[in-house]
């Protein structure tokens, strides 16, 4: 893995420039650059490629967008070990399939991280969003993250309005949706106000207790979800054992039995993987990392000129605009989402 060397079966950071290169790639991607543009710069700067480091035969000095993407999507850079679980499709079919990303088992803190979990997650969201929208006209600050609250369509930037308006309304008139719009400057002011409020509240003593409390409530919510999932598993297992009775009564035949069993097994394994993920989140320490990252950002973004693609990507996950023009902003930081509770 680029940036690391394997010693005695564990990953250790290399002592050359490659760990920094990995971090640089993540930062550049967050700032709005694409895979190819990053690859080009690495090539121009003569940075050794992953295959050169791995000493592969016939490897050229050229970086490709795909190698950059591969680094950006590798969860091992967060310091966790990710194991893919494989499942058998059914009793009769012995083909094994690779599980999708959300069905992996994660063992945290197995080696030194190069990227924080927050950053890694941010990059995954950006990759998802950017691949959805390759529209070059979408170059405005909020184009990739702003949608209409009522119809869910992306909002379009209109320069004559200096702001965004519901895409369905623009294209298909009020038959499709009603007029939802917001001026870009209003949105920016709204965000800066939130940051100001947050800055004031985070600085006041007692805030960390309140943050702790919010975190505690979130954990209760998650553990309730775990309990629900566990009882779901039990009920599916009960249904599964009933099948056997049905088979013995000859109410169903053997192939019907096998089809039903494999569908229950699938259900159980998907519930279990959600449970594993939640258990992992619950085991994590309180969101110290999140709060430190937020403090950093509060220092970085204090006025209008600090609002750039990079800072927006770091701060905001999604914005929905209500009919009366009020923005509902989903921040990447729980502290900002729960500002009113602080």
Our CB check for Zn ion shows the closer of 148 and 195 to be 148
Our CB check for Zn ion shows the closer of 69 and 180 to be 180
Our CB check for Zn ion shows the closer of 50 and 327 to be 327
Residues pairing with 255 in the sheet: none
Q: Which stretch binds Zn ion (CB under 5 A): 102-110, 175-183, 274-282, 293-301?
A: 175-183
Choose which of 72, 114, 155, 166 interacts with Zn ion (CB under 5 A). 166
Q: How many residues bind Zn ion (CB under 5 A)?
A: 6
Expressed in angstroms, the distance from the first to the final Cα of the chain is 42
Calculated CA dihedral for residues 31, 197, 201, 212, nearest 10 degrees = -60
Please report how close the Cβ of residue 169 comes to Zn ion at its closest, in angstroms: 6
What are phi and psi for residue 257, nearest 5 degrees?
-60, -50
Our CB check for Zn ion shows the closer of 103 and 320 to be 320
Choose which of 148, 155, 312, 316 interacts with Zn ion (CB under 5 A). 148
Residues pairing with 7 in the sheet: 10
Residues pairing with 107 in the sheet: 81
Our CB check for Zn ion shows the closer of 47 and 177 to be 177
Our CB check for Zn ion shows the closer of 126 and 155 to be 155
Residue with tokens 């059914």: 90
What x-and-dash track marks residues 263-302 binding Zn ion by CB under 5 A?
A: ----------------------------------------
The yes or no reply on residue 146 touching Zn ion (CB under 5 A) is: no
Q: Which stretch binds Zn ion (CB under 5 A): 42-50, 116-124, 147-155, 239-247?
A: 147-155
- Of the candidates 225, 272, 230, 277, the residue with the CA atom closest to the CA atom of residue 106: 277
**DSSP alpha helix (H) spans, the chain:** 18-30, 35-44, 50-53, 65-72, 117-132, 167-176, 184-203, 207-248, 254-283, 288-300, 309-315, 334-337
Query: Distance of CA 172 to CAs 135, 147, 153, 165, 169, Å?
Result: 19, 16, 12, 12, 5
Our CB check for Zn ion shows the closer of 320 and 332 to be 320
Please report how close the Cβ of residue 307 comes to Zn ion at its closest, in angstroms: 25
3-class DSSP assignment, residue 8: coil
Q: Which stretch binds Zn ion (CB under 5 A): 19-27, 165-173, 292-300, 310-318?
A: 165-173
Our CB check for Zn ion shows the closer of 231 and 324 to be 324
CA 41 to CA 43: how far, in whole Å? 5
CA 263 to CA 237: how far, in whole Å? 11
Choose which of 22, 177, 181, 202 interacts with Zn ion (CB under 5 A). 177
What residues contact 314, with CB distance under 8 A and at least 6 apart?
A: 30, 122, 297, 332
CA 61 to CA 50: how far, in whole Å? 9
Q: Which stretch binds Zn ion (CB under 5 A): 114-122, 159-167, 199-207, 231-239?
A: 159-167
Q: Which stretch binds Zn ion (CB under 5 A): 58-66, 77-85, 148-156, 238-246?
A: 148-156
Planar angle of CA 208, 209, 213, nearest 5 degrees: 115
Choose which of 59, 151, 226, 259 interacts with Zn ion (CB under 5 A). 151
Which residues lie near Zn ion (CB under 5 A)? 148, 150-151, 166, 168, 177
């Amino acid at each position: 893995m680029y940036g690391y060397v394997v010693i005695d079966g564990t990953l250790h950071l290399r002592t050359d420039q490659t760990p920094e290169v990995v971090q640089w790639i993540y930062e550049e991607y967050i700032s709005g650059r694409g895979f190819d543009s990053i690859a080009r710069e690495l090539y121009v700067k003569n940075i050794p490629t992953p295959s050169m480091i791995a000493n592969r035969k016939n490897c050229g000095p050229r970086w490709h967008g795909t190698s950059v993407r591969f680094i950006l999507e590798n969860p091992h850079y967060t310091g966790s070990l990710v194991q893919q679980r494989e499942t058998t499709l059914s009793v009769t079919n012995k083909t094994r399939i690779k599980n999708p990303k959300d069905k992996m088992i994660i063992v945290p803190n197995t080696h030194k991280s190069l990227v924080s979990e927050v950053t890694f997650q941010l990059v995954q969201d950006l990759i998802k969003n950017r691949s959805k929208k390759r529209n070059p006209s979408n170059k405005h600050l909020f184009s990739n993250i702003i949608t209409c609250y009522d119809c869910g369509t992306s909002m379009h930037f209109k320069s004559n309005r200096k702001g965004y308006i519901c895409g369905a309304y623009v294209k298909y008139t009020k038959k499709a949706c009603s007029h939802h719009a917001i001026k870009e400057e209003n949105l920016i002011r709204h965000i800066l106000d939130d940051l100001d409020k947050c800055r004031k509240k985070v600085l006041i003593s007692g805030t960390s207790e309140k943050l702790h409390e919010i975190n505690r409530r979130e954990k209760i919510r998650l553990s309730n979800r775990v309990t629900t999932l566990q009882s779901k598993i039990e009920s599916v297992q009960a249904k599964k054992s009933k099948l056997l009775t049905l088979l013995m009564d000859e109410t169903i035949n053997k192939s019907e039995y096998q089809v039903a069993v494999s569908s229950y097994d699938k259900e159980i394994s998907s519930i279990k993987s959600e449970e594993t993920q939640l258990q992992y989140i619950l085991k994590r320490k309180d969101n110290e990392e999140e709060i430190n990252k937020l403090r950093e950002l509060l220092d970085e973004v204090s006025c209008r000129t600090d609002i750039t693609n990079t800072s927006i990507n770091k701060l905001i996950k999604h914005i929905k605009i209500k009919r009366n023009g009020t923005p509902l902003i989903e921040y990447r930081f729980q502290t900002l989402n729960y500002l009113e509770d602080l």
